[in-house]
Structure 1
């Protein structure tokens, strides 16, 4: 069988024109002047590029997979291995800190640990804010309070000072039970009692007094028997020096001295 020299389609005997491409077979033969212008075999068709594209994609996929596996199993594993000692070191430090508070099984070491902890606790207590202790029956109190003007300040506390400043010095205070005849309640810091001005945003000091512990009314009177007035409410007023601008008001509650305060002289 013969084939068209131009498109490769099959030809019949004595066919002058190709049915597919219309090639003039006689003219083609004449122009080439050859006896074998017609292919005795079907010409080879051009190869498709798709197999090569598929192979290329497959190769690229293998390379990408290999890179991912290399990173995941080697590089990332090395990073975790490098980070692990740091984590272990951190845990070791935490365990070491916790171990500092454990009592050793060795009796000598345990005794030494207890002594060190006692020293530390003692130092913490000494450095912590300490509320003042005041003995109202002492001669020192008679001199520094009963006979001295403390209207605006006492023991480092001043009228107008903020509550934060007071509590940095004395620590947190406790609310005293309400005393009949007083409009506001006192906050007690040891033996110091303070009224804060509710009209100010930072609760500034408004009044300062002394609040003794377990001092009876009779004990106080025996110590300071020269009071000037015993009011109808049961309070005592001391004003031994006239026209000095202040006097001392002592308020008992249920037989105990609740407050000793310096007030303006009336």
Structure 2
């Protein structure tokens, strides 16, 4: 995997680079935001960006916003930062970050998080392959989701929203990321469009512990689909 890392602390940057290269990735280190943006403007070969937040020229948040504006939602972006406040986490996720890791760097966790993001980059050809998630079967070629073998009738946007969760169990999605992925635009907080669609898929697909899943919502952070490894235990917990 071709990774670009933004880190002004050379020792930290070299640590990230070394850890990722030992894990089989290629990692290019940038020590200024402007240098990374110039490289991103020249080439689209990078497959993942790792951003420090506080940089001497532009912030990592500025870089993220540039990426989402100019490169779209497809480029995975992860913050590796010393910022630990919940407000920063919320700001990063709402701006379109896919993951957020707090320093000091734990090398095993870094590799695991990068691997998780890599798994989400399924080739387009595999997007047509049927797959299962708990009690659900998803058939992209037919745009059908079945629960225990019974097809569930969904509106097109409900289907897209549900598939996004089923392809990424455990991933936290901010409202902005959900709306950009499904509607290709941000939906104002005053609109009930996203809430209505979330309510519909929760009800129609019966996203409940007895079916091995739970749709968890946090008004501040967003939404994620949790897989419940032991369904019986979940029902009695």
Q: How would you bin the TM-score normalised by the shorter chain? A: under 0.3
Bigger CA radius of gyration: 1
Of Structure 1 and Structure 2, the greater helix share is in 2
So what's the TM-score if we normalise by structure 1?
0.24
Tell which has more relative contact order, 1 or 2 (C-alpha 8 A, sep 6+): 2
So what's the TM-score if we normalise by structure 2?
0.27
